[in-house]
Structure 1
Amino acid sequence: MMGLMASEKFRTVDTRTAMSSTERGTDAPAGTEETNPGAGRTRAWATRLVVAGILLSALNLRPAITSLGALLEEVRDDLGMSGSVAGLLTSVPPLCFAVFGVTAPRLARRFGPAAVICAGMAAIATGLLIRPYAGGTPGFLAASALALMGIAVSNVLMPVVVKRWFPDRVGSMTGLYSMALALGTSLAAAVTVPLTGALGGSWRSGLAVWAVLAMAAVLPWLPLVRDRGTAPAPSRQRTAATAEQHAPLRMARSRTAWALAVFFGLQATAAYITMGWMPQIFRDAGVPAGTAGVLLAVTMVMGVPLAFVIPRVATRLPHQGPIALVLGVCGLAGYAGLYFAPAAGAWAWALLLGVSNCAFPLALTMVGMRARSGPGVAQLSAFAQSTGYLISIPGPLLVGVLYQRSGGWGLPIALMAALMVPQMLMGVLAGRNRTVEEEAAVR
């Protein structure tokens, strides 16, 4: 998500005052809650609901993908998928994120971010529940697209919710959100195979059970769906902030926005190749299916501690490029290991690729750091994620084609390593200390 400035300690916005007028749809004067204890208690409960909603939603943003990766061979065999079709299946997530993510800011302006995220969680639950029983590959893809549509809009709006409700704790909440996302990702990868066995051995039950977690994520947002506003700046800042927040931006004019979008796209390419294909790479090298799922979980669980640390470190650095370089070097080392000794050093390669995949929380952090205002963050988030996911679409599909045509993993792994080089370069460019308002404002 994002770190908003060079250090969180410089943010002193009073969030209690900031949101009170939003809930009423009026510009209440500062101090209203101090004279109305009931409003303060309501605000405190709303904040708790937002925190619960953020954490539960983050847990649901990847299980639809990693649970499928753990059972991809069984799904392919049962539905009669070729390697190319399976590659297409692993390309569906970024396609849906690109297509549906760009609609998120418009939907949020009309219905409010909470209502859109609530609907997104309901779409995830519905898609995951019907996907295994839709019948055939087309139905499976359609139900997957429904779940991924919910993930797409939530992906874009989560940074907006964090900035609006926690303007003085952006780095901390970004880390918490990223930890929950990594935890959900690794949990689905680790337990899907044994859970499938416990449910009778059917891959359909093993995939459908994740709908329960998505249903739980709907609940915290229900009391908040009528809140369509945003957290206004404190009254002493409001006049100065309004003009900047409403200035139209043309992201295509911003070199920083493009660098961030390409960086986002290349890290997403690596992540979805890893989530979709890494268990199969290990299984083809002789690693048992259950162990291959655990290895993917190890890769994903590395994001739990690092996703909390990286945003906090990034917000304290004037340039985030060095972090992108370190993550890229870890990725290159992991791919080299997969190429030369996939089974012998499997645990080491899983750890290195797990560190490399933490380019995702870094990208989200830079989204917040490269824009000054809430609307700017929303526009940059939609541009970077939608454009980035479009860029990432060919990667998993190309890996599937190369795997089927070559009969091995040499060429696909070489492709993954080659893509890491421009990712590092774009991370350096996106990490420069500047904002899109400086480059993209309409004059």
Structure 2
Amino acid sequence: MPDETQTQTPSESRAQPLPPRPAATDRTATAPGTRLSAVWITRLVMAAIVLAAVNLRPAITSLGALLEETRDGLQMSGSVAGVLTSVPPLCFAVFGIAAPRLARRFGPGAVVCAGMVAIAAGLLIRPFAGGTPGFLAASALALMGIAVSNVLMPVIVKRYFPDRVGSMTGLYSMALALGTAVAAAATVPMTEALGGSWRTGLAVWALVAVLAVLPWVALIRDRSPAAESERADAAAGSRQAPAPKITRSPTAWALACFFGLQATGAYITMGWMPQIFRDAGVSASTAGVLLAVTMVMGVPLAFVIPRLATRMKNQGPIVIALGLCGLTGYAGLFFAPAAGAWAWALLLGISNCAFPLALTMIGMRSRTGAGVVRLSAFAQSTGYLISIPGPLLVGVLYQHSGGWGLPIALMAGLLVPQIAVGVLAGRDRTIEDEAVVRN
């Protein structure tokens, strides 16, 4: 939003008519409860993005920290627990693909607001739902909210901060990593402080989600000219059909596979890494902190990697470097899980920063805003669909082999194709270029 409109005085506004767009950002529209100034809209959107990002992973990492207690409390087998760890990517694939259509119908802000409500409700209900089916259903509700927010957050950033996409994506990624890490580290100590019940330890994260609902409610209730203009622009942008057909683009498929394989590794890590350390003799609280170390690496790197990637024509070298860190970390888990636990957690945390890199490459592989929306929905939904079998297969291998050797070998093996498709996705080309070549 232009800075010069923010310094305009009321008398200047009356002295001469303003063009439609600057008038939409006039600071003099101040009807309480219905209109917000452009400055406050910007601040409110920033707060809404940060709070939403903080809530996009605690539903998963808090469960990972208390997976053993949850399994015992619900009498789950290892295979059923593997199904539980596969629910996040399944929900992200199924519901994420519907996000663009929902945004066209209701607006991106309203859909993200509903997503935050779903997260809060799901987190509150699932510990007390009674039995595994109810637990899975409530988890799916929370994950549905996460899924639509995952896809639409880049749209919100692009809409409100078109000239600061890199920095705002970094801020969003940092907040996401921070929420992930805090949930992993704090869940076990907080559970103990609240009486030791795993149900209370999981339910408390609903309070954080409730906080995230508030700024989104304020945004969708705002009826200032600026907000109405943003909603009109978003609706118009959503109706534009991009020229290239996504499914015919090799780059789109490479991005989807890269996103899927990195998501596989991330959700295996979030769901099973604390258990790997606990089975190696590490205490439950320390295992949670180790997962937090892995997740917290995304806080600084989520800001650095997107900026570095946008300065490079080819992002392949970053893909290779992150993959090598992951291979080293898995080798350490295989040979000395307890002795070098902190080093392996650190290396795997660096490797998991393929997520912000994938988001950055999605934005770089299309020239148009409409193309980015379609590419984001395709890459994330297809990618999460690809990632579904991974956590389930780890649970099955763990149960039937009686140890972590085979599961860790699988995790390391998946990094090899991840590096290969990541190098392909990192090439300096766009889906529009490929459409021209095919035509």
**Same fold judged by TM-score > 0.5?**
yes
In 1, are the aligned partners of 2:24 and 2:229 still within 8 Å (CA)? Answer: no
CA gap 1:200/1:321 in 2 versus in 1, 3 angstroms: same
Matched, 1:380 2:375: yes
Aligned to 1:154: 149
Q: Which amino acid aligns with 2:192?
A: G
Aligned to 2:13: none
CA distance in 2, matches of 1:278, 1:376: 36
- Higher relative contact order at CA 8 Å, sep ≥6: structure 1 or structure 2? 1
Equivalent positions of 1:368-407 (< 5 A) are 368-407=363-402
1:90-129 per-residue CA deviation (whole Å, 9 max, x = no partner) reads 0000000000000000000111100000000000000000
Equivalent positions of 1:51-90 (< 5 A) are 51-90=46-85
Of 249-258 and 142-151, deviating more is 249-258
CA shift at 1:375, angstroms?
1.4
CA shift at 1:67, angstroms?
0.1
Matched, 1:288 2:283: yes
Aligned to 1:412: 407
CA shift at 1:16, angstroms?
8.1
Matched, 1:326 2:321: yes
> Which secondary structure state, in structure 1, belongs to the residue aligned with residue 391 of structure 2?
helix
CA gap 1:134/1:325 in 2 versus in 1, 3 angstroms: same
In 2, are the aligned partners of 1:156 and 1:385 still within 8 Å (CA)? Answer: yes
Q: Which amino acid aligns with 1:360?
A: F
1:119-157 per-residue CA deviation (whole Å, 9 max, x = no partner) reads 000000000000000000000000000000000000000
CA shift at 1:230, angstroms?
4.8
CA distance in 2, matches of 1:330, 1:48: 37
In 2, are the aligned partners of 1:112 and 1:228 still within 8 Å (CA)? Answer: no
1:77-98 per-residue CA deviation (whole Å, 9 max, x = no partner) reads 1111000000000000000000
In 2, are the aligned partners of 1:199 and 1:206 still within 8 Å (CA)? Answer: yes
CA distance in 2, matches of 1:42, 1:173: 21
1:394-422 per-residue CA deviation (whole Å, 9 max, x = no partner) reads 00000000000100000000000010011
Q: TM-score with structure 1 length normalisation? A: 0.89
CA distance in 2, matches of 1:352, 1:421: 16
Give the one of 32, 38, 46 matched to 2:28.
38
In 1, are the aligned partners of 2:261 and 2:414 still within 8 Å (CA)? Answer: yes
CA distance in 2, matches of 1:428, 1:316: 16
Aligned to 2:209: 214
CA shift at 1:28, angstroms?
5.0
Aligned to 2:15: none
CA distance in 2, matches of 1:380, 1:346: 37
Give the one of 309, 317, 335 matched to 2:330.
335
CA distance in 1, matches of 2:332, 2:75: 31
CA distance in 1, matches of 2:228, 2:21: 20
Q: For this pair of structures, how many residues does the alignment match?
A: 414
Give the one of 420, 423, 427 matched to 2:418.
423
CA gap 1:440/1:123 in 2 versus in 1, 3 angstroms: farther
CA shift at 1:38, angstroms?
1.7
CA distance in 1, matches of 2:129, 2:24: 51
CA gap 1:228/1:144 in 2 versus in 1, 3 angstroms: farther
1:319-372 per-residue CA deviation (whole Å, 9 max, x = no partner) reads 111111100000000000000000000000000000000000000111111112
In 2, are the aligned partners of 1:245 and 1:373 still within 8 Å (CA)? Answer: no
RMSD over aligned Cα atoms? 2.3
Give the one of 346, 351, 357 matched to 2:352.
357
Q: Which runs of 4+ in 1 moved over 6 A?
A: none
CA distance in 1, matches of 2:422, 2:200: 40
Q: Which amino acid aligns with 2:291?
A: L
Aligned to 1:129: 124
CA shift at 1:437, angstroms?
2.2
CA shift at 1:247, angstroms?
3.3
CA shift at 1:14, angstroms?
4.4
CA gap 1:16/1:151 in 2 versus in 1, 3 angstroms: farther
In 2, are the aligned partners of 1:15 and 1:167 still within 8 Å (CA)? Answer: no
Aligned to 1:252: 247
In 2, are the aligned partners of 1:273 and 1:396 still within 8 Å (CA)? Answer: yes
In 2, are the aligned partners of 1:69 and 1:279 still within 8 Å (CA)? Answer: yes
Aligned to 2:339: 344
CA gap 1:228/1:330 in 2 versus in 1, 3 angstroms: farther
In 2, are the aligned partners of 1:16 and 1:43 still within 8 Å (CA)? Answer: no
CA distance in 2, matches of 1:321, 1:340: 29
CA distance in 2, matches of 1:256, 1:413: 29
1:206-261 per-residue CA deviation (whole Å, 9 max, x = no partner) reads 0000000100000111122265765899xxxxxxx98x954344210101100000
Instruction: Could you tell me which runs of 5 or more consecutive residues in structure 1 were left unpaired when the two chains were aligned.
Output: 1-12, 18-26, 234-240
CA distance in 2, matches of 1:274, 1:15: 44
Q: Percent identity?
A: 76
